[in-house]
Amino acid sequence: MLTREPAAGRYALGDLTVNRIGFGAKRLGKDRDHATRLVRRAIELGVNHIDTAAWYPTYADASHAMHDSSALHWANEIIREALRPYSDEVVIATKVGPAEDGLARPDQLRGQVETNLRTLGRDHLDLVYLRQHGLHSVTEHFAALAQLRQEGLIRHLGLSNVRLHHLAQAQAIAPVVAVQNRYGVDFGRVNDEMLGVCGSQGIAFVPFFALAATGREIGGVAHNGAVNAFARIHQASPAQVRIAWTLSRGPHVLAIPGTGDLGHLAENMDAGILVQQPELAALGTEE
């Protein structure tokens, strides 16, 4: 049950409405009880959009191997333990595509969807992103997911790590409700065009690496002098500033910050109060 009015507002993922600050489940930590409490606390603080994947190596942190196979399925299992039976208000988004030997073939995507269904303990998935890598055309892969959508296993479809021509290819097959690409203060103007196209078409844009920036998989919050100075002036954390900056890029932008810390979780949820600060936009200008 949601307990707070979201400072950053809401946006629609197809026929599902989510609060613009959600929760990324990639860095829950290794303690099962703590991770379960963290997910439940996220819901108490107003999260109704959780981003996950069956292949997340969620034990990982900056001092850990980032692809520890013993951690696979951990995020989905924790979400299931914390939230089942699921409220109709909570939207779970997941991703398929990556496989142990590279990118899954189109005929392997059904198995990945079924793995997400099983590990999450659900009879359908609210939103499934096709996470592509190295494809010129996503047509065959997206068509395979569109078939699963027709069968009722998937409610809505999205794309991740894509370019504009991938979006057009997918839209020729089925509606795309969200695009998840790297985006943040430190990435310059990478993906600005995609962000604009999504906004004009009513598609949610969901940045990843918004906190870690160029550090990417090592996690944590990237150091940036301008961000840190803004944070000091406004008595905020650098993570809050980064989240607020991405949200300020358009009403269709959704944030999915991840953390294994209950205090940081609460801070992240309050980042929306900074969105209206006029000097925020200047943080993302290229040097």
- Rounded to whole angstroms, what are the CA distances from 33 to 27, 66, 78, 258, 278? 14, 22, 9, 17, 41
- The continuous run of DSSP H or E covering 18 comes out as strand 16-19
Q: Check 56, 59, 129, 183 and give the catalytic one.
A: 56
Distance of CA 121 to the CA centre of its chain: 20
List 130's β-bridge partners, or say none.
96, 159
Task: State how far the Cα of 213 lies from the Cα of 33, in Å rounded to an integer.
Answer: 29
- Residue 181 CB partners (closer than 8 Å, separation 6+): 160, 161, 162, 191, 194, 205, 206, 207, 208
Is residue 59 annotated as part of the catalytic site, yes or no? no
- End-to-end CA, the chain: 44
CB atoms within 10 A of CB 286: 5
Helix (H, G, I), strand (E, B) or coil at 287: coil
CA distance 270 to 126: 25
Q: What are 30's two structure tokens?
A: 């290794």
b/e 44-77 (16+ beta carbons within 10 angstroms → b): ebbbbbbbbbbbbbbbbeeeeeeeeeebbbbbbb
* 244 touches 238 (CB < 8 A): no
SS (H, E, C) 139-156: HHHHHHHHHHHHCCCEEE
Catalytic residues: 56
